[in-house]
Chain A
């Protein structure tokens, strides 16, 4: 991952709401807490965040409401102008872009999905999906072709002429997804896309989303307040609180080594065996004999083997190449929830 330059690189990003945020930020002493800033009459939406997103990576930003996760993603797309720090997208500082250049960037590289869908109520499904194409001035025929293509992709064919009001919530979000994909963006922002949906539909949409991502390999920033969802989808999770990132790591690492008490609370009720993979547990320095297990298998997947196999260490391999070995009692500990 490190070999490729990151698609999004945020350095010391601040977003402060209030009367004169820039002046306030300049005068701000280091280490001032969220509550102290609030006492000064300002709201710190994003506090000193530095983070990168690699190409093809899915970064999930997790946090409770008011934690600043939605603000941060809006800073990435410059729906909000940031108060301090820099954000680079593909090496360009987006804060320095002219309005025109920013619009061009959005028209060619970015797509976004919203929690309450953000559909235009007076337009049909087709016209909603074709909207970004229309904005960049594509001709009617071409945009219709492309819109139909993405509508098929999200499984809404036959509903092109419906109005949003005539669709269910899940269908509406499919329209939102289709719209965000219409321009074939490199970067895909999803702001709590499934939060407004019923649990059953949410599950279905998550599967659908994973299927799409497998085909499309976008760079994704995904916002959620649902830790399970984050674990399910993420390559890496960034957990936010009061505008700052508490911890940013892979799901396995977060579950195994929560950095703060706040993060640990989230992990408490999680069935870690389903999250932690053999690859993560494997000690590269360790070698073991016998049949190997796949690095991508979760501890839960290996439950039967872990209980029946008598070896104290079990080799792990990824794509046929050994990557180390796991200690059986450590894995069993995770399985029975001792750790």
Chain B
């Protein structure tokens, strides 16, 4: 084993490779197939880097890996067909529905959760707080509703919700809590960023849908609005929550899952890789770090993955045992 102090990229990958070979348990069950493991890549940086990190781990185990860029919703159909082998970020909020529908059709398996939790809810960038100091309480937000008015919404404030297909029930919440807000759906994550970006210039107050972990935290510091805390059944039983007659009268669960999913043939075709996949689990800070390497430090994803693996050997080496 050759470990030296040089941080030259090529040497360190070699070292990584050597380390990995040494760590792979001898006599691991069946042999993995020679066919490439196909990892899908979507359009946000943490997922791209995470995919590269896992891909490089698989490669260090002797597997061949290929990346394919695809739409984050359409990918579940490809996983079912086995064209794509796995999916590393299944967000409860954004993709839970697609994932469950694919599970029902068959061909895809749940490979467990990351340690990371996800939160998706109303959010505002920090400058908003200057105009509306009572934040993050939702009542305070409602009192400043006029601050968020646009030409189209009249006196009411505008809340920019996520795309309809994410099923965030913003409209229902506004009605259940009697808020002076009009809900407008953005068509994509990029549309949300554009709105925040446009507001940033003159520090206009905005309240938009957002989630964590993602890159926006690093670019625009901000906070989630504190709604009445989530109670199980808030979406099914009107009696639950502050408004006895309405559903969705609480905030979203602050701890949504972040899952891994795989094609149901993976366990058989690449048993060793599958065993590792089952163990893989990232935390919120780790995911944020991956995103930062690309979004802030402007590295290319593969490079960022190499750096991350180099710096976090203790995290991933455990998964190989």
- A–B proximity contact (CB within 8 A): no
The interface of chain A, by Cβ under 8 A from chain B, is: none
The interface of chain B, by Cβ under 8 A from chain A, is: none
